[in-house]
Structure 1
Amino acid sequence: MLKIVDRYIIKKYLGTFSFMLILLSVVVLVIDVQQKIPRIENARALDPKLDLNYFLIHFYPFWIINLVMTFLSILVFISVIYFTSRMANNTEIVAVISSGASFHRFARPYLITSLFIAVLSLLVNHFVLPWANIKKNQLEAYTYNSTNKEKVLGTAPVSAQLSRMEYIFINSWNKREKRGSGFVFQKFDKNRKMTYELKANDVYWDNAKKQFVLNGFVEKTINKDDSEKLNSGFDLKKSYGHDPEELFPNELLGQNKTTPELLKFISREREKGNSNLNAHLNELYQRTSMPVSVVILTFLALSLSSQKKRGGLGINLALGISLAFIFVFSFEALKVVSENKSMSPALAMWFPNMIFLPIAAILYFKRANQ
């Protein structure tokens, strides 16, 4: 009998979760498309192929994957609250417990299903989602308002630290066209004394040859006796080991990398002396902490909704939605705190789980002992 109950609960869990997932995707997709149609139309002025159909095929499928993984905990929590409350209201849970099964035994299919979803989401977060983000982020800037679009696609000063002794500065760099003006490369010795400087009026990235092309350049080499050697010319090709996206990364770059690639990137940036890595570290730790929260929130939802209450399904759903949004909002708020270096990224991304885990455990064992 209990195996039949297990299959019944697993079917209920996955069925409700799938329905919630599809419902969220469709509703949010329709709302988002309606909101962003004017911006998509403006994108056609930059590139005629960027019409609505192009975005529906090349942007929104990958955007939905990102959306689902962001709100996975909410979907799980509300799904468990919903179908468990219905079971409680129909006295199905009372019938199972009255048959001699313990509450711990009744909770087994919840554990199995939540572990399945958690492991699946873990694999998606670490390997599939970065691929989807690459596709999404290629077009996402075109859906921003004019101010935010200019930050991503427009022209702005950029800088890069190649090592503890080497630096690049570009006074005006266009990320979309990959060209700019006011290029400066400087190299220092261990005493922080400049030993080499390269300046150029204009610079652009040659994607075919994977090199920067400097126009109107002046080289200055400073010898140990402080004498200088000058060299100048019109055209100079230089390779600094990485493409512009790697040299001048934004916070979206970490989203585009699988976890092994992200670990290598973070390690490389630390070796270069870059201490501004919290946004990428947040991305790294959240990929694991969010799937773990699926199990925690499953048992929290089970504990809150497995008893018949006055107000029934409505009060349970209201409570569930409130707690789920508090949980996800706390992740986003703590990201900002971490990026401002007020909290370590590891603590920031695991802090919601650390708070909700004891709450879920207390409520679960309280319910099991009733």
Structure 2
Amino acid sequence: LNESDFIYVSSFDPARRIGYNFTFEHFNDQNQLDYKISASNIRWVPKDSLYRLTSYMKRKIRANNEIIEKKRRLDTLFIFNIEDLTPVSYVAETKNLFELNEFIEVQKNKGASNINTYILVKYRRWALPITAFILTVIGVAVSSVKRRGGMGVNLAFGIGVAFIYIFFDKVFGTLAEQSGFSPLLAVIIPNVVFGILGFYLLKNAKR
């Protein structure tokens, strides 16, 4: 959420607005764990505008001692919205371009470490028409060449090219999400490589 507060859930049900295996950690100015809240699930209760924790436990760290507080159920407030528990890829893919741009700015202000995930989704939307055009050119070029074995060979070759493109896209996408690799280059490189391939195949097809 910020430099001091972190939240985690193992899974989230957006329809029921419930997060499972919830954890909230707060760190002090010395970057040491001040307290930790855990619960089997967290549910947003719109009627009362609060969160309901089941099997609640709070562990406070004080010098060399720990203070444990347990309750079967606790109604409380937090500084985050329930939508913050939604998986990041799901959030990005369900927003339109304007909402996504605004969402990226909010996450940057929060100091989110996985900001490249959202930026990658944004660039892929811009690149999608170009990708479709390139793969269409490759498909036309491949289908126009007569090979021994008939159309089955052309079909197999085309499917093979499509799988290789998906492989390239996934590899560079993972690099952008998990490392400091540029999301823009992760989108551009597969299109450039297969754009060159499409131009080469189309040129040979004309011959």
Equivalent positions of 1:1-370 (< 5 A) are: 162-163=1-2, 165-169=3-7, 175-176=12-13, 177-178=18-19, 183-186=24-27, 192=29, 204-208=42-46, 209-213=48-52, 237-243=76-82, 245-247=83-85, 249-341=87-179, 343-368=181-206, 370=207
Distance 1:296 1:218, change over 3 A: closer
Partners of 2:203 and 2:171 in 1: CA distance: 30
SS in 2 for 1:343: coil
Partners of 2:145 and 2:11 in 1: CA distance: 59
SS in 1 for 2:79: coil
> Which of the two has greater helix per residue?
1
User: How far is 1:347 from its partner?
Assistant: 1.4
SS in 2 for 1:274: coil
Do the aligned partners of 2:19 and 2:85 also contact (CA within 8 Å) in 1?
Answer: no
User: How far is 1:341 from its partner?
Assistant: 1.1
Task: Kindly tell me the number of residue pairs found equivalent between the two proteins.
Answer: 187
SS in 1 for 2:84: helix
Partners of 1:340 and 1:200 in 2: CA distance: 28
Distance 1:356 1:271, change over 3 A: same
User: How far is 1:278 from its partner?
Assistant: 2.8
Q: Cα RMSD between the aligned structures?
A: 3.6
User: How far is 1:320 from its partner?
Assistant: 1.3
Partners of 2:147 and 2:7 in 1: CA distance: 64
SS in 1 for 2:89: coil
TM-score, structure 2 normalization: 0.68
User: How far is 1:272 from its partner?
Assistant: 0.9
Distance 1:332 1:210, change over 3 A: farther
> Which of the two has greater strand per residue?
2
Identity %: 26
By relative contact order (CA 8 Å, sep 6+), the higher-ranking structure is 1
TM-score, structure 1 normalization: 0.42
Partners of 1:201 and 1:336 in 2: CA distance: 31
| Structure 1 segments unaligned to the other structure (5+ residues) | 1-161, 220-231
Higher Cα Rg, which structure: 1
| Structure 2 segments unaligned to the other structure (5+ residues) | 61-68
Distance 1:184 1:360, change over 3 A: closer
